[in-house]
A and B are shown apart, each in its own frame.
Chain A
Amino acid sequence: MASLTAVDSHDHHAAPSGITRFLFSTNHKDIGTLYIILGSIGGVIGFLLSLGMRLELAQPGIQIFPALAQIMHGADADSALDAGKNLYNMFITVHGVLMIFFMAMPILIGGFGNWFVPILIGAPDMAFPRLNNISFWLLVASLLLAVCSMFVGGAPGLKGFAGGWTFYPPLSSNVGTPGPAMDFVILALHLAGASSILGAINFITTMFNMRTPGMGLMKMPLFCWSMLVTAFLLVLVLPVLAGCVTMLLTDRNFGTSFYDPAGGGDLLLFQHLLWFFGHPEVYIIILPAFGIISQVISTFSRKPVFGYHGMVYAMIAIAVIGSVVWAHHMYTVNLSLNAQRYFVLATMVVGVPTGIKIFSWIATMWGGSISFRAPMIWAIGFIFVFTMGGVTGIVLSNAGADKQFHEGYYVVAHFHYTLSLGAVFGIFAGFYYWFPKMTGYMYSERLADITFWLLFVGVNVVFFPQHFLGLAGQPRRYIDYPDAYALWNAVSSFGMIFVTAAMAAWIYSIVEAVRAKRPAGDNPWGEGANTLEWTLTSPPPFHQFLTPPAVPAE
């Protein structure tokens, strides 16, 4: 690789401010901050939606959604019940869309990825700083379209799209949702997809071309590797989603029948395309979290990550295998026996590289000198809860058993354990790890601990009983349930008290840290923090590494 020279020396004039700084930003740190703010807003709204749902489900019967529909959509008393049922299904839909596209991905990829990938490889910014800017603003436009969809016509006489974030036709075609709400959702997905594809191109180019001299690919921090693998997955599967969703748009508006059997089309085509994207999507969400966990565990064990090469290959294996297992979401559509057999075996295989990672993290801690600061508590919590989510995934991979669990609460429990507990714990680990670096302020360790325990207890009380409900036969996406399911629904809803308290504690801990202004210093974490961000000030300068830094020692 050719030696790097400093590109230009415009660091001697002041950083832009105000609207210019954020609207027209070409700075990876500012754009990262914008993404984190967007993701936090998306997450808070997504959380409020789930709070509404769990309030409704706390008792058998329909208590709050008809009234909510009257307030939100002005439904009259006669149609309130129907409007309420539709609103509940819309809440589920928007909850999924927001949490995936407007919370997890923006925070992990757009937020932490943008902030720290360039710094960790010793680069001054991303390869395409202006492209980075449009990636962010495309996502804002996407969110606006998604929000608009909630207030325009959907199913006959009803508002919004209410068919789940997986939006299968015919419910999402003109048969089920003739109104424009679904078109708004499709266009929102187009923009979000474009945003991520452009971002992924940016990440790949940056990591391949702008590493500081001496940092071979196999010396790159594991967080960067997780982002690199994630970026490849995005570039591979988002175009498939785009195609899938465009065909739905043309079916709805231009008279095609890709998904209309009466016109020679096939509804399974949609499902295959959607899940060819949809399954890698969950790895897209979790891989950056894996990367954060590796950084955090290593820092607070004061040891390099155990088996670096194995960790890299495991992430690549998870991505590759994860790209060829999509139809385990389709075990009840009556695929051929051989197709189902293949998907069972392929899906089970993903457990092996995942297990390698879990054991490697534990082996990193083994022999280490562990300090239990907030990021480490979240990371250790992650290892345990993600293992729980992972083993229920093994259960679901068995097509035979899955017939009993498909579209029931066992599936809901599984993916919330891997996401609400897994990915979210990873996000919090990254948040507390990098908050001092990004803001220059040290958070209160006590408040961080309180937040952790409230959320840990809360999400376990919410989601563990849902395994019972799934086993006992409760279907998902139901506004109400037969009375026999009352006990564990009540327990699950009760857990939201802790989750709500945790959200409040988290918001308060940010406010407190910003008010108290305790200086974090360049490196609050000590000798275990040996990646490049800890050589910079907190917060870092507007431009860093205009001269490439030395590769950090192991």
Chain B
Amino acid sequence: MQKSTFSRLVGAIGGSWIGLTLSCGAALAQVEGRPTPGGIGLPAMVTPVGLETQQFYNNILLPMITLIPIFVLGLLVYVMWRFNEKRNPVASKNHHNVPLEIVWTSIPCLILAGLAFPSLALLTHQVIVPEASVTIKVTGNQWYWKYEYPQDQGGGFAFEQRVKPDSELQAGDLRMLSVDNEAVVPVGEVVKVQVTSSDVIHAFGIPSFAVRMDAIPGRLNETWFKVEKAGIYYGECFFICGKDHAFMPIAIRAVSRPEYEKWLAEAKEKFASNGPARQVAAANQ
């Protein structure tokens, strides 16, 4: 392999790949709550944690993980060109350089230390559940989600959320995402979600919220979100749970507080036959 052809080829492949992906990204408009067709980046986020995740990834992580491989590739290309056997027939004997080793140990340490601060800040915001005005209990089952809205928050009902079969899809519905019963939450309020499972491990994940929490039988996990914009937001099951793992989506509709209360009243009637939901002892514990 000629050195110049090789390095030119690498440059061409790398350059065209980057160009292709960047141009694809620029051309796409995002709709919150659903995956962007052909999307190459994070979905549009509608929660504070989601926005913080997006900023952390797009502004800090992505530049770092783009520059480092380019830097390494650049070094490799240079070395292959400058020190191939034709240009450099006699190899040097030098195989030590302590100052260099110190530099390439400490610079990565500093980079990682710098990463740690925004990283742990984001984590803390996710894990510490703020005071919530709405608590919902979500139970994963093979292969659907069950939602319980507590009585002392205007609920007192439970319902199941199943994927709409392909044959029942209507205009505007999304295959594999649209469901029969949407779960409704109020916009702009902290919603605490308690997640568990009745059979095997599932996971409750909504990309536009940056929410993902495992549903584990015998364990009650807690997470939260605050939807800043009204709309319908889809999620999926994010832990392999059997044959229909791909077919138990999540749909959350965020509406204004008055509309939410209206829906609560309607749902209480509609789902009365499902049996009562458990009470939440102290919703803001």
Give A contacts to B, CB under 8 Å: 60, 82, 85-86, 89, 92, 155, 158, 162-164, 168, 170-171, 175-176, 260-262, 266-268, 301-308, 310, 332-334, 337, 340-341, 344-345, 348-349, 351-352, 355-356, 358-359, 362-372, 377, 380, 383-384, 387-388, 391-392, 394-395, 398-401, 403-404, 406-408, 449, 457, 460, 464, 468, 471-475, 477-488, 528
Assess whether B154 is interfacial by the CB under 8 Å rule. no
**A359 — which chain B residues lie within 8 A by C-beta?**
104
Task: Please tell me if the beta carbons of A468 and B91 are within 8 angstroms of each other in the complex.
Answer: no
- B68, B94, B213: the one contacting A334 at CB < 8 Å is B213
Given A352-B112, A473-B43, A484-B39: A261 and B221 within 8 A (CB)? no
| Contact between chains at A480 and B61 (CB < 8 Å) | no
12 A–B pairs (Cβ distance < 8 Å), ordered by A: A60-B175, A176-B241, A306-B97, A366-B79, A368-B83, A368-B88, A392-B65, A399-B123, A472-B207, A475-B246, A479-B246, A481-B176
* One of A344, A358, A407 near B239 (C-beta < 8 A): A407
Q: Which residues of B contact A82 (CB under 8 A)?
A: 243
Q: Determine whether the beta carbon of B38 is less than 8 Å from that of A369.
A: no
Residues of B within 8 A of A307 (CB): 95-97, 101
Residues of A within 8 A of B100 (CB): 363
Q: A369-B89, A406-B238 are in contact. List 13 more A-B contacts (CB 8 A).
A: A170-B217, A268-B216, A303-B95, A333-B216, A362-B76, A363-B100, A372-B6, A384-B76, A400-B126, A403-B210, A407-B212, A472-B35, A478-B236
Given contacts A349-B112, A400-B53, A403-B210, contact A340 B127 (CB under 8 A): yes
Q: Which residue of A lies closest to B177 (CB)?
A: A482
Q: Taking chain B's interface residues, is the majority helix, strand, or loop, or is none over half, making it mixed?
A: mixed
- Interface extent on B, as a size class? 35 or more
Which residues from chain B contact A365 at a C-beta distance below 8 Å?
76, 79-80, 83
- B40 on the interface (CB 8 Å rule)? yes
Which residues of chain B have C-beta atoms less than 8 A from A171's C-beta? 200-201, 240-242
Q: Closest chain A residue to B10 by CB distance?
A: A384
B212 touching A404, Cβ below 8 Å: yes
Interface residues of B in 71-106 (CB under 8 A from A): 72-73, 75-76, 79-80, 83-85, 88-97, 100-101, 104-105
Contact, CB under 8 Å: B176 / A371 = no
Say yes or no: A308 contacts B104, CB within 8 Å: no
Say yes or no: A472 contacts B238, CB within 8 Å: no
**Do A170 and B200 have beta carbons less than 8 Å apart?**
yes
- Given A303-B92, A340-B123, A403-B126, decide whether A394 and B115 contact each other with a Cβ distance below 8 A: yes
Q: Which residues in A have their C-beta under 8 angstroms from that of B216?
A: 267-268, 333
**What are the 9 tightest A-B residue pairs by CB atom distance, in nearest-first order?**
A261-B218, A400-B122, A473-B207, A367-B92, A484-B35, A391-B65, A334-B221, A400-B123, A472-B39
Q: B206-233 CB contact bits vs A (8 Å, 1 = yes)?
A: 0100111110111101110000000000
CB of A267 within 8 A of CB of B218, answer yes
A180 to B212 alpha-carbon distance, docked (Å): 32
A30 to chain B, nearest CB (A): 35
B1 with A377: CB separation less than 8 A:
yes
Q: Which residue of B lies closest to A464 (CB)?
A: B17
Contact bitstring B174-214, A, C-beta under 8 A = 1, else 0:
11110000000000000000000001110101010011111
Q: Across the interface, do A475 and B116 meet the contact criterion of CB distance under 8 Å?
A: no
B26 interface hit (Cβ, 8 Å): no
**CA distance in complex: A310, B120 (Å):** 30
CB neighbours (8 Å) of A473 from chain B are 35, 43, 207, 236
Query: Quick one: which of A92, A380, A398, A400 has the most chain B CB within 10 A?
Result: A400
Whether B69 pairs with A155 at a CB distance below 8 angstroms is no
Give the distance in Å from the alpha carbon of A383 to the alpha carbon of B108 in the complex: 17
Q: Chain A residues with Cβ under 8 A from B244's Cβ?
A: 85
CA distance A464 to B238 in the complex (A): 21
Tell whether, in the assembled complex, residue A472 and residue B43 are in contact, meaning their CB atoms are under 8 Å apart: yes
Question: Interface readout for B19-56 with A: 1 if CB under 8 Å, 0 if not?
Answer: 00100000000000011111111110000000011001
Given A332-B203, A384-B69, A398-B61, is A478 in contact with B243 using a C-beta cutoff of 8 Å?
Answer: no
Q: How far is B35's CA from A487's CA once the two chains are assembled, in angstroms?
A: 12
B265 on interface, CB distance cutoff 8 Å? no
Please determine whether A351 and B108 come into contact, CB atoms closer than 8 angstroms.
yes
A384:B73 contact, CB within 8 angstroms:
yes
Question: Taking CB as reference atom, which chain B residue is nearest A389?
Answer: B69
Q: How far is the CA of A217 from the CA of B61 in the complex (A)?
A: 39
| B211 with A482: CB separation less than 8 A | no
- B12 within 8 A of partner (CB): no
Tell me, in angstroms, the Cα distance from A337 to B56 when the chains sit together. 19
